[in-house]
Each structure stands twice: as C-alpha cells, then as structure tokens.
Structure 1
Amino acid sequence: MDFRLPEEARVWAGKVREFVDHDLIPFEVEAELNGGDLRPEIRQRQRQKALDFNLSGMDAPKQYGGLELSVVEQVAIYEQLGRVTNALGWCFSEAHKWMFEACSDDQINRYVVPILKGERHECYAITEAESGSDVDGLDATARQEGDHYILNGEKWFVTSANLADFAIFQARLEGGIHAGAHVLFFVDLDTAGIEVIDTPLFSHTFEAHHPTYRFRDVKVPVANRIGDEGAGMDYTRAWFRRERLMIAARSCGAAERLLEEVRVFANNRLSNGQAIAQYQLVQAMLADSATELWAARLMTYEAAQAHDRGEDLKRLHARCSMVKLYASEMVGRVADRCVQIFGGRGYMRENPAERFYREVRVDRIWEGTSEIQRLIIGGIFNKRGLDGLIGSTNT
C-alpha cells in the first residue's frame, strides 16, 4: 500500500508549516508567560492569515465558499498545526461538513457561513459533570413550548466559550414522540438564562478557556434546532469522528516537533566529553519515539484515506477511535522521553517539551477517553471481526 501523500496534501502541509514556523511558534513563550494571551495585534495577524488560507473552510462545501479539501489534505494541515504549543493553532473557528448536511438554509446563513468568514465563533456545550465520555447519559433537557424550546442543564468544559458568541447545545427531549432522544441547538450565549458558574484553571496555558455554564429555562426558537428531533447523536458522532482523527494528526505533529527539538539538543549537549546522542540509552529513547511516530502517522493517514474512499461508516468510526487511542498515547510517551533527555532544561516552561508534556495529556481524555476508545474498538471487533475494524489483505 502506498502511503505517500498526494501532491495537493504536500502543498498544504508546506504552506501551513511555514505559517506555524513563522507566525505561531515564535510567540509560544510569550503566550505561556502571559496566561495564554498575546498582544491583540499579534493574535489578529495570526487569525487574519488563517482566514487568508481559508482554514475555516477546509471541510466546507465550495458552494458556500469553503475549500472542500480531502480528509487526507485536512489531516496534513492539522499535523502541522499540532507542532505548535499553547493552542496558538486555534486561531480560527471551523465550519464542518456535517453542519451543512444538518442545518437549514437559514441556520447556514446565520451561524455556519459567518464561521467561514471569521465573523462568528462557536463552542460545544455537550459534556456534563456525570456524563463525560458517556455522551448518551446527558441530563440536560429540551422541552418544546409552541414555537420555542426551553433548555435546562449544566455544561462542563465548554472549550473556547470565552472566545465564542454562540454554542451548540446538546440535550434530551422531554415529552413528545421523541422523548428521551438527543437534540442539538444553536444558542446565542447572550440569551437570557445562561450563566457562567466557574472558569477552572487547567494544566495548559491557553487563550481558550473551558468554563462551566448553567442553562436555566433558556428559551430558543424552533428555528434554532439542528436537524430533526432525535438526530442529535448522529451529528455528534460525525463531529467525534472528525475530532478524533484530527487529534491523532495533531499528536503526530507534536511528536515530530518534539523529536526535532530534542535531536538538536542531544547532538550538542556534552556529557563526559561526548554528545549525549551517542549514549545508547538516549538512542533507545529516540529510536522508540521515532518508530512509534511512524506507526501513528501511517495509521492516521490510512484512516484519512479510508474516509476519502467512502468506506463503511462503522469501520470509519472504529478507525478514528483506533488512531485517536494510539496517537494520543504515543505522543504522551514521546513527550515524557523528551523531557527526560532534556533533563532539567526539559522542566522549564520556556522549553517546548515541558509545554507539550502538559498539553498532550488531555488528548487521552477529551473527545472520548482512551478507555472509551478501547470499548468502542472492542465492541466493534466482537460484532464484526477484524475485517470490520481494519479490513484484510483480501479486500
């Protein structure tokens, strides 16, 4: 099987790599030492360049002004964005393909197209205190009253909400023929009844916060319901598949950056008269890290190619879980080894290895924990066999 990237993906990787190297990485330490914030003119310049590339529209249909890139091209972009710390790569919001499939023309005009133009910014209000990876266990409710729904619930870890002006809110329906089923809504964050009750601090130093919101009798029009009643989980699964694949891509980019940095250090750091790169124990850590990165990268791009080939949805779902599981755990091991090779320098916040060590840890938690990914993989394997997961050499 040929895993070489197509020319279009290599071009995108090159453009975004230059953007990362020249416009994002030089400001990592400034962001780290200032609570994740950069000077407004710098952040605006980064956002404008992302808009100039139309990164907000990489997954969006061309008829709406998007790029409609292949999944392989998008993975190539996100791999390069993964090379930067402090979430500086989160300088754009993104309109996903599923939104155009699920939303009405009115919703596309009011919410989705403005994302493409950089005029509006979204966040996802899905997770709850007792239903993290178990999205099906939501307590939030939506009850229809005439031409409106009444929303109630408490949402945790609403990533980037401090930078957003609307949320995608997931709840269970109360009453009606679809009672108990899931439903999604667009909710403007200035709507009456929405309250920020906590903004916890986390290990990473990001401009994007993860506050806790309470929705109390929040009134939203029926026109803000995304898709049909009861279809909410279908859209959430589509979002999860993409997010898991792109987490894997970012993990590969982070591991590459770590290995680039530590290789230079190990070849210049002298101990007992020779570069530490010559010591076999250091070489073993580098060898294991490079090998695992190669494996993760091959898995990630093959999963992306499977999407572009239009393979069976359940197999795609399994593969996204597999690559998210393997790549997120891989980059954690690579970061740990690189901190060890850097020694005391690796424990300094100005060192990218220290920042990655903190930042990549959450990739084994959000968008489904490693444990949840294993349950998904194991469940599909038990039902469909190995071919249902990864195919076989005969197909």
Structure 2
Amino acid sequence: MSNDTAIIRIDEELCTGCRRCSEVCPVDAIEGKDGVPQHIDTDKCVMCGQCVQVCKGYYSVYDEPATPLSKKYYDRGMLDNVEEPIFAAYKACQVKKIKDLLENKDLFKVVQCAPAVRVGISEDFGLPLGTLNPKKMAAALRKLGFDRVYDTNFSADLTIMEEGSELIERVTKGGTLPMFTSCCPAWVKYLEQTYPELLDHLSTCKSPQQMAGAIFKTYGAKINNVNPAKMLSVSVMPCTCKDFESGREEMKDSGYRDVDLVITTRELAYLIKDSGIDFKELEEEEFDDPLGMYTGAGTIFGATGGVMEAALRTGYELITKKQIPSVDLSAVRGGEGFRTAEVQVGDLKLKVGIVSGLKNAAPVLESIKKGECDLHFIEFMTCPIGCVSGGGQPKLLLDEYKEEAYTNRKQGLYDHDSNLKLKKIT
C-alpha cells in the first residue's frame, strides 16, 4: 500500500520531524531522522491513528507551503470550509464521499454509532470534554439525511452474547486459552502480522461494527422492506482502523459489503457543521427500534476493560444460572497498561487480563508462547484508554487536556450505563 492510498498518511510538506508520532506508534511503523519529514511503513502500520492525535506540525499562514491549502483539502478528501488547522499526520477523509451519497435519493441510508462517539462528538461544538450526548447525535444524523439511525451498542450486546458463550465453551469443554477479544481491528491486524501462531486464541466473533453491518443488510432490509443492494450502510467510529476492517474481503456475510463507509467522530462533526446544524440547540431524539436498542453492557465497550466487564456480566449468568450479585465489576476497570483480576463465577475462579495500549501486548503474548500465562480471557485494546482515546476522536491540541478528556469520556460511558434500565443481556 502506497502512502497515496494508505488510510493514515504523513504530509511531508508539513512534517517538522519532531518524531512525536514515532514515539507514540505502538508498532514502530514511523521512520525518519530528527528534523526531517517522517515516513510510514504501511506494511507495519496498524492504522490506530495515535500519530494523528499527537501531531503538532500544521499548515501555517505565516509560512505557507508550496501546495495551496485548497489543494490539500482536495487531496485529503476534506470539504473546503473546514475552520481548523490541518496537520502533517492525518487520516484520509471520507466526508466528500459521504456527502454525495447522502444526496442520492435512490439509496436507503442507515447509520450506526459506536459507544465512544457519544462522549466525544460534543467536544467539537465547544461543550465540556467528555459530554455525553447520544440523543442530540441521533437527531443530527437524522437531519443529515439518514433514513434509519441505529446503534453499534445494539450489536455490542450481540457480541457479548457470542463472546461470553464462546468463552464458556472453551473453559468448560476444552479449547484454546486464554481467549483473546476480537473487536479491535488494529489489535487483530497486529496479531496477524506479528504473532500469527497465536491466532487460534482469538475469539471467532466479529466486531460490533461488522455484526451490525451484516444485520442491517439482512434483517434490517427485511423489516424496512428494502433491497439490500440499494442500502448504504455507514458507521461512525472513534477508530481510524475501522475503515480498514470494513473493507476486508471476508466482511460480506450479507452478500454485499456489510459496512459500505466508515467515518470518524471528527468527520461527523465536519458534516454537521457543513450542513449548518446547530448541535447545541438540537432537540433530543431516540435511535430507531429495534436495531437502536441497547444495554449498559454495550455502552461500556468504549472504555478499557469495558468489553471484559460486559462479557462477565452475561457470562456469569450463563454459567451459574443465577443473577450476578453486582453488575459493576470495578476490578477490571483502569487505565493504560496490563492488569489482571480474578472473578468468582459460581465454582469457577475466572482469571482475566486487560491490555490497554498495544505497546503493552508483546510481553503478554511472549508469556503465552512460553506457556507461562494461566489466564482464561484477555481483552486487548490498541488505543491507550480504549476506544474513548481512539485516533478518530476529537483532536486534543494541548497535551494537558488529554488526561481530563480521557477521564471524562470514560466516566460519561459509566454514567450512561448506570442510568440505563437494562445493564446487560439476560
């Protein structure tokens, strides 16, 4: 893959060679000497977009590069009315493409939104860091022209059912352990290219995004009485690698490409602003039933440890046939790094691990190769605090805002979980 077709790119005209991007890259895919433009090894890159988040080299009107700003907007796929700096490290933008598709009257347009988007989108409209706004987001998507506004949280709940059942099957009947989560596409790509001998540990579950895409073009097409060939399935994600995931050859279980187009939280903000929608003043609206319904377990997928906690909430009852004493499993919550916990599930002491930040994965995987890891289940998330810190989330221009933003976004998801009537699939 060349830099011209890659999802994550570096603009050599704007790159100052500060190497912040290299320092944050979890797979050492960014190459170059200090003070000179950097280059991405696209074979190693897992497209997590953390380089996009930390990049500080920007287009300055005081030192105008040779390429005009309008040309850079065009080359990046951006609209030319974006009122913010553009930086050297960037994700190829889908906004122009989706804007054209939304105007196509022959398409039935459905959209899904990941859990972390609802605690990030408001930041691009001047609201406090981590503000939770799922219903304003749903209203904005409807105003943009989507015929159905569904939710990735719905399919996150389906993932929990599948993943929890698979874990129980492996633990009780014999199977490859520890089982790895499979919902983070950057992590999956890393495992495929770096530790292919451990692929049997990976859960067979698709990610919530891809489960949703397949459902929308099968069951969703049926309940809406539309031809799936005439459906446009869009997802809004905090992740810059979800674009790659949706384009994988195997992601066609519906008979069509299950997810046609992926945009990030930032790209959704571009669309809303371009349409003249006043996000702050929007009346709240609900997601469409039934594919917009969800529980608190689906919601917390967006925070590190959330996939693990959600799976344990459901897995506990599948194993014991009893109500879990408490749905809040704080032992698996936390920040960046590797942590372990033990959860008593009936007579079984379930040993679990959480890897947050891909740089922390290799030591864990090496211990598994050596037969030194006695865990049953491990959650792997590429981004430092899980999806709330994804490469497609609103860019934090000052480093001092990062900790506050990550903390508030996580807390927003847990607060949402607490306030929902249903906390898990039963």
Bigger fraction of residues in helix: 1
TM-score strictly above 0.5: no
The TM-score with structure 2 as length reference comes to: 0.28
TM-score scaled by length of structure 1: 0.30
Q: Which has the higher contact order (CA 8 A, sep 6+)?
A: 2
